[in-house]
A and B are shown apart, each in its own frame.
Chain A
């Protein structure tokens, strides 16, 4: 889904300048990349708190702070985490036809959303593949707010921009505003709500998962969404960049040190445990939302009417079932990583799929992974092997999320 591509992206970057010698030490590539990196409003704050800054989607972002990724992950679930996710791109579409326009590009039934609520959605291409995933919020029937992945920003904006121009030429009425004047903080975990409540007069107990409000937090005008990328209850707070530092400090202080700054490393562990896709790993240009297990995000009306890019492919898959499906996996041996092969467990060694994300779960203390396998082999309990460094290890399909989610849902 959103945000983190830490390992894969770093590897690709480093790969450009990698030599055979010293796989662990690729200083040159890093130095070259660091010069052009963008910094968030909290960059100095991260460094002062011991953030290990790494290049990520063109930004210098903290992959971890002084706590290990293991401890950070556990602390998020026990107490709370504060993430700087300002590298992600906030975008508003305005105009009487903002919703009909957006619906030509995404699978969600945006029109059916109540004002001030949102949903996960997918931007599709002509072949039904995913250009990006995004959380879309219907602020009013004339204003939609979106957050798209940092790594997809350029192609998303080019895609949306080109379609918007064509739409407006035919008499449409849509304008966009890219929220580069704002920073984005994610506050996640059981202490997220009680901590944030100390900084706003809004009654957060009346705000449920996916709800959105424009409210005053810590004295500044924020966009608040009850959402996240960890499986925990929590919020994403879009704050004017000049107030981002004060807000980050206030949140940490009000939690009395229990909510801790958390980097992209733990964010990746948390989203994997929650069974959430990382775009670029678990979803790519050629992956349809049906294959990715996101059929639930395709609105009923959209299934009947289509009207988004690649609808023929996607609607056909909904009817007939996809050829491959995303599954959750437990495995023995070393943690599987992206691109580990999945082979048949019957001894034939037949290739039946590929891991797209994997690692050691800090909460479950065992290996978890997600990947794509042929339909029919996707049911919980199906056994096969994953191949890590040439050796096969036992693996079994399991339901996701791996760690139960704790979203604050309406009663």
Chain B
């Protein structure tokens, strides 16, 4: 397993590299009503149901998504922890859950059409739906304005 994690790490780091050394460009779309994690996932909460995906900024930096590794329905995810992966042509990137809870649905359509993550990250490209355990966790996430600034700063560093 040590091998497996180091493998995952290098691939993720390669992705990190693509991401952080980007040239300045038009800023990506962010949506109101969503909450954002520093690792570039979004969550939309309706009642005790949360939908999770990766942001426009994330998909833009990753490039063409060719595979999405989904968890199984029924698994439990926890805030800040990895539950799946997005593969672009060149690199692997972990997806962390912005919120804790039980996975009650996964977007099976991504198996056939991983490109939905690029084309439509906030709608057709959603990744999992989670039954929320603790809505209080949302307070530790960013709103749209904060997240926009966060991306701006991250890109601006390079």
| Residues in A lying within 8 Å of B, measured CB to CB | 6-8, 10-12, 14-15, 18, 22-27, 30-31, 47, 50-54, 63-64, 68-70, 73, 265, 268-269, 333-335, 337-341, 359-360, 362, 387, 389-390
Contact = CB atoms under 8 A, between A and B. Distances in A.
Contact of A359 (B1, B3, B85, B90): B90
A11 B23 contact: no
A334 B85 contact: yes
Interface residues of B, number: 41
Contacts of B6: 339
B40 interface: yes
Interface in B1-28: 1, 3-4, 6-23
B66 interface: yes
Given A23-B9, A52-B21, A52-B22, A69 B89 contact: yes
B17 to A, nearest CB: 5
Interface stretch (B44-52, B91-99, B119-127): B91-99
A73 to B, nearest CB: 8
Interface of A is mostly: mixed
A69 B64 contact: yes
A389 B13 contact: no
Contacts of A339: 3, 6-7, 10
Given A18-B9, A23-B9, A30 B20 contact: yes
Contact of A15 (B10, B18, B39, B91): B10
B89 A11 contact: no
Nearest to A268: B90
B15 A24 contact: yes
13 contacts: A7-B90, A15-B9, A22-B16, A23-B16, A23-B94, A24-B16, A27-B157, A30-B21, A51-B23, A69-B63, A70-B89, A359-B89, A387-B4
B83 to A, nearest CB: 12
Contacts of B18: 52, 54, 63-64, 265
